[in-house]
């Protein structure tokens, strides 16, 4: 396909595709799916080889959130029967993190429900970061605590945090339909605060909330503009007891197209398959490794993932390798060394990296011509709800049971 050849060429040069091209990826047919995966896989291998970075979540405080995010099982008014507990002590959180590191995780993500941290909460998390760093040499720590106030990102950075996660989740145009207790602009502001403090910014999206193709492209282009180092792609887990419990809109094929589109728009960033991969990708998970270079190991915040050993077996069986703590994830122009497969492009003076707002005239959405595929979006059959694949987490952090790692 001319479309895919064009997108591969742009991805290898870090050029921004046009919106029409991004929409055309989402509109490809099932007959073209393997071609789409193969094309995006060339871009993924150029910048990240066959390495897969493992991340591990520790839910520091579960449930009891005052925000009304419709997708979240921890939201205000949620009837989902999730674990609910207040802050883990630093030693408890460090013990949970150690299980993930022992399973191969290179980054530990510390998450707490709530609108945003108080200064006392930042002190508490800072102690936890120190405990984890002291006991696990070389591990990266990412904090995800909600909306940040002035000076809090700097304090987290001073405590040893490497990154901060705050997802945009959906397009600015539809954000008010998903959440009313804070705004899209609030989220953008927090990502910018993390950037300004010298933290590696991590920001992504949730697919499957009933959004259109245009909404998906909008949020991914907004992410490119924000220039995060990592982009988690979550697939909605429709928890019973939440407003989006009936939103079963995703097929494995749809998930792969979304990941491919993200890779083409943000070719040189860490694309992470996050929550919902087991529920929606199912047996197609190994194919997704050709698109993303990062996954979560084991369980999520309030739901269970597949066994950590199954994740490791999947990576090996698909011909990939777990990224070590001695390896830098990002290519040189984003702060890491050139891999053997990226040497030709690193430092070549090609177009600016994802999110810089530079790139070719195609980035304006109009310079490369239209693609008829975008107007022929196939009508997908609504998949059957797979509630049997949604398991509430009952082990690990906040319980007396061993974690899944």
Beta pairing, strands 51-61 & 321-322: parallel
Both tokens of 282, joined, read 């199912």
The binding site for [2Fe-2S] cluster comprises 109, 142, 202, 272
Neighbours of 102 (CB within 10 A): 13
User: Taking the model in full, what pTM does it have?
Assistant: 0.86
Share of the chain above pLDDT 70, in %: 88
Answer yes or no: is 405 within a domain.
no
Average of pLDDT values for 378-396?
71
Tell which wins on pLDDT, 375 or 92: 92
pLDDT digits (tens, 9 = 90+) for 350-364: 333 343 333 333 333
| Residue 349 Rama label (left phi>0; alpha psi -120 to 50; beta) | left
In this structure, of 12-26, 234-248, 251-265, the range with the lowest mean pLDDT score is 234-248
Give the domain CATH number at 57: 3.20.20.70
What pLDDT does 73 receive?
Answer: 82
Answer yes or no: is 395 within a domain.
no
Answer yes or no: is 394 within a domain.
no
pLDDT digits (tens, 9 = 90+) for 326-352: 899 999 999 764 443 444 334 333 333
Q: Report how far residue 334's alpha carbon sits from residue 340's, in angstroms, rounded to the nearest whole number.
A: 16
What pLDDT does 93 receive?
Answer: 94
Tell which wins on pLDDT, 243 or 285: 285
The 3-state secondary structure of 159-226 reads CCCCEEECCCECCCCCHHHHCCCCCHHHHHHHHHHHHHCCCEEECCEEECCCCCHHHHHHHHHHHHHH
Does 380 have pLDDT greater than 70?
Answer: no
Distance of CA 237 to the CA centre of its chain: 14
In this structure, of 189-193, 206-210, 247-251, 383-387, the range with the lowest mean pLDDT score is 383-387
What pLDDT does 352 receive?
Answer: 37
**C-alpha dist (Å) from residue 397 to 81, 93, 300, 402:** 16, 7, 11, 8
Q: Report how far residue 157's alpha carbon sits from residue 175's, in angstroms, rounded to the nearest whole number.
A: 29
Please answer whether residues 196 and 245 qualify as being in contact, where contact means their C-beta atoms are separated by less than 8 angstroms: no
Q: Report how far residue 69's alpha carbon sits from residue 113's, in angstroms, rounded to the nearest whole number.
A: 11
User: Mean pLDDT of all residues in the chain?
Assistant: 87
What pLDDT does 382 receive?
Answer: 65
pLDDT digits (tens, 9 = 90+) for 139-183: 999 999 999 999 999 999 999 999 999 999 999 999 999 999 999
The binding site for [4Fe-4S] cluster comprises 65, 69, 72
Range of the domain at 345: 2-368+371-389
What pLDDT does 305 receive?
Answer: 86
Answer yes or no: is 396 within a domain.
no
Answer yes or no: is 237 within a domain.
yes
pLDDT digits (tens, 9 = 90+) for 23-48: 999 999 999 999 999 999 999 999 99
Answer yes or no: is 397 within a domain.
no
Confidence of residue 67 (pLDDT cuts 50, 70, 90): confident
Number of domains into which the chain is organized: 1
What pLDDT does 336 receive?
Answer: 62
Does 371 have pLDDT greater than 70?
Answer: no
What pLDDT does 257 receive?
Answer: 98
Average of pLDDT values for 265-276?
97
**C-alpha dist (Å) from residue 212 to 35, 183, 218, 243:** 23, 20, 10, 18
Answer yes or no: is 404 within a domain.
no
Both tokens of 86, joined, read 């207040």
Answer yes or no: is 144 within a domain.
yes
Positions marked catalytic: 65, 69, 72, 109, 142, 202, 272
Confidence of residue 137 (pLDDT cuts 50, 70, 90): confident
**C-alpha dist (Å) from residue 179 to 171, 249, 260:** 12, 19, 27
The binding site comprises 65, 69, 72, 109, 142, 202, 272
């Amino acid at each position: 396909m001319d479309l895919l050849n064009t997108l591969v060429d742009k991805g290898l040069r870090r050029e921004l595709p046009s919106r029409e091209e991004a929409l055309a990826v989402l509109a490809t047919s099932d007959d073209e799916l393997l071609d789409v995966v193969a094309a995006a896989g060339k871009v993924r291998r150029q910048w990240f080889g066959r390495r897969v970075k493992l991340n591990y979540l520790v839910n520091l405080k579960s449930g009891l959130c005052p925000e009304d995010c419709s997708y979240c099982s921890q939201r205000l008014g949620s009837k989902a029967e999730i674990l609910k507990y207040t802050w883990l002590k630093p030693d408890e959180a460090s013990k949970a993190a150690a299980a993930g590191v022992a399973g191969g995780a290179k980054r530990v993500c510390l998450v707490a429900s709530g609108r945003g941290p108080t200064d006392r909460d930042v002190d508490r998390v800072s102690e936890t970061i120190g405990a984890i760093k002291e006991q696990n040499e070389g591990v990266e720590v990412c904090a995800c605590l909600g909306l940040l106030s002035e000076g809090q990102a700097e304090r987290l950075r001073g405590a040893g945090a490497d990154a901060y996660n705050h997802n945009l989740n959906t397009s600015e145009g539809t954000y008010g339909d998903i959440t009313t207790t804070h705004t899209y602009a609030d989220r953008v502001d927090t990502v910018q605060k993390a950037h300004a403090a010298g933290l590696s910014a991590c920001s992504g999206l949730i697919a499957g909330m009933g959004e259109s193709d245009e909404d998906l492209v909008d949020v991914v282009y907004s992410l490119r503009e924000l220039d995060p180092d990592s982009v988690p792609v979550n697939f909605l887990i429709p928890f019973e007891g939440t407003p989006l419990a009936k939103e079963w809109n995703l097929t494995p094929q749809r998930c792969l197209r979304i990941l491919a589109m993200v890779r083409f728009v943000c070719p040189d960033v860490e694309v992470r398959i996050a929550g919902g991969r087991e529920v929606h990708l199912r047996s197609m998970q190994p194919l997704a490794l050709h698109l993303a270079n990062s996954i979560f190991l084991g369980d999520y915040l309030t739901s269970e993932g597949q066994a950590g050993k199954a994740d490791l077996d999947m990576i090996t069986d698909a011909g990939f390798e777990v990224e070590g703590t001695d390896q830098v994830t990002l290519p040189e122009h984003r702060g890491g060394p050139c891999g053997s497969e990226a040497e030709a492009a690193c430092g070549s003076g090609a177009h600016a990296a994802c999110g810089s707002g530079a790139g070719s005239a195609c980035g304006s959405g109009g310079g490369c011509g239209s693609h008829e595929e975008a107007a022929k979006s196939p009508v997908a059959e609504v998949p059957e709800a797979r509630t049997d694949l949604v398991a509430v987490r009952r082990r690990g952090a906040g319980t007396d049971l061993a974690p899944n790692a």
